[in-house]
């Protein structure tokens, strides 16, 4: 009798906790290595293709419009035209800028939105430029009139511990590229470059603002293992390449401990690696039970995962694989305004995810 009551208790708890939905995945359009996307309005999405194209797709008519631009992009390894964000009739993009002699930087440019042509002006260049096709980052988030950008360490490892250089850090600038006077450089980190907000990052390809606590969250690739999801924190250090976050070098050699005091601790780690990509903090009606949960996309694992992280202790984070191996490698994710439907960019196409009623 006691065992039966225990079973009923657990069944009740699990059933009422469950946030599972029946849903459908529908391909909207094919694209050539799409990378970043943003809603202009409820029915139009602007997106980038890694090789340099900027396009707008009308989600009702499926019409795709190509926008001309003046960016000097060097498509090199993992580099190319990367993230894009829209706000108040302006567009910001991150990209691997051609700095000459095969040297590039993760750069950010701003332009006034126009469906025919956008004339961009650079507002940030990661220094120094580096001859490498690895680890550019890069995601963009706007919070309180500030632009946050994740900048990868370009495969240079310990450069992420050198705050006199931008690679391997989170950047925080004003929307016009000027530097906020409350950045760490002006307060407790005098030796940091003025634009740097946090250091010790490897290859951060996901970042999102939560509407629920007004905090910025991010995902980061480890090496062989050690991907993580965590919070962007002012003046702090995630520890790369002193810490290995549970992973090892690709050769199999050790990097360092998963974590140790004095460094920022991630909320969730993945070992082995799932190749974390873009993230979103869900807020919408379509999947309302997911409000406040993190949606984590992955490339290698080809999955969409959901994290209930209201309790940020690592062993209290609840993870659910929503789907896996259904649509391919996932690069970006956006929540449609008003409806809360989910739009997902794979490395080949745009998909819509909605409930099946």
pLDDT per residue over 54-65, tens digit each? 999 999 999 999
Q: What is the pLDDT of residues 245-295, one digit of tens each?
A: 999 999 889 999 999 999 999 999 999 999 999 999 999 999 999 999 999
pLDDT score for 246: 95
Q: Which helix (H) or strand (E) holds 240?
A: none
pLDDT score for 16: 34
Nearest to 204 by CA among 157, 130, 244, 150: 150
Q: CA–CA separation, 290 vs 210, rounded Å?
A: 13
* Domains defined along the chain, listed by start: 23-355 (2.120.10.30)
Distances (CA, A) of 145 to 77, 128, 175, 321: 32, 26, 6, 34
Q: CA–CA separation, 72 vs 13, rounded Å?
A: 55
| Residue the block writes with tokens 């050198």 | 162
Q: CA–CA separation, 259 vs 242, rounded Å?
A: 9
Q: Cα-atom radius of gyration of the chain, to the nearest Å?
A: 20
pLDDT at 32 exceeding the cut of 90: yes
Q: Provide the sign of the torsion angle of the four alpha carbons 243, 248, 254, 257, taken in this order.
A: positive
The answer to whether 237 and 252 have CB atoms below 8 angstroms apart is: no
What's the gap between Cα 259 and its chain centre? 22
Burial class (CB in 10 A: 0-12, 13-18, 19+), 113: middle
Range 207-231 average pLDDT: 96
* Three-class DSSP category at 159: helix
* Three-class DSSP category at 111: strand
β-pairing, 64-69 vs 117-118, is parallel
What's the whole-model pTM score? 0.93
Model confidence band, residue 3 (pLDDT cutoffs 50, 70, 90): very low
């Amino acid at each position: 009798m006691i065992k039966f009551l225990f079973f009923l208790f657990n069944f009740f708890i699990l059933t009422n906790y469950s946030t599972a939905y029946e849903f459908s995945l529908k391909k909207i359009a094919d694209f050539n290595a799409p990378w970043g996307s943003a809603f202009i309005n409820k029915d139009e999405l602007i997106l980038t293709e890694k090789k340099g194209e900027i396009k707008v797709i009308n989600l009702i008519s499926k019409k795709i419009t190509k926008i001309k631009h003046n960016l000097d992009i060097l498509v090199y390894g993992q580099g190319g035209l990367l993230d894009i964000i829209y706000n108040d009739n302006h567009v910001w993009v991150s990209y691997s800028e051609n700095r000459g002699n095969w040297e590039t930087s993760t750069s950010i440019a701003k332009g006034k939105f126009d469906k025919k042509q956008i004339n961009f002006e650079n507002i940030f260049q990661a220094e120094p430029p580096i001859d490498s096709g690895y680890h550019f980052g890069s995601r963009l988030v706007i919070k309180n009139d500030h632009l946050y950008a994740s900048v990868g360490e370009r495969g240079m490892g310990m450069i992420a511990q050198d705050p006199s250089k931008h690679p391997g850090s989170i950047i925080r600038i004003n929307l016009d590229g000027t530097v906020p006077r409350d950045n760490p450089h002006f307060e407790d980190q005098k030796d940091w470059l003025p634009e740097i907000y946090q250091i010790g990052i490897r290859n951060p390809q996901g970042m999102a603002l939560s509407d629920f606590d007004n905090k910025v969250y991010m995902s980061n690739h480890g090496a062989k293992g050690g991907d993580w999801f965590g919070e962007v924190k002012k003046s702090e250090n995630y520890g790369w390449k002193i810490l290995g976050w549970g992973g090892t070098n690709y050769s199999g050699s050790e990097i360092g401990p998963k974590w140790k005091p004095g460094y920022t601790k991630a909320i969730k780690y993945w070992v082995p690696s799932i190749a974390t990509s873009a993230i979103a903090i869900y807020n919408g009606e379509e999947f309302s039970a997911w409000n406040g949960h993190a949606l984590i996309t992955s490339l290698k694992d080809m999955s969409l995962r959901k994290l209930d992280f209201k309790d940020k202790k690592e062993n209290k984070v609840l993870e659910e694989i929503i789907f896996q191996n259904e649509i391919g490698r996932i690069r970006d994710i956006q929540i449609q305004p008003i409806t809360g439907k989910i739009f997902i960019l794979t490395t080949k196409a745009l998909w819509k995810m909605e409930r099946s009623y």
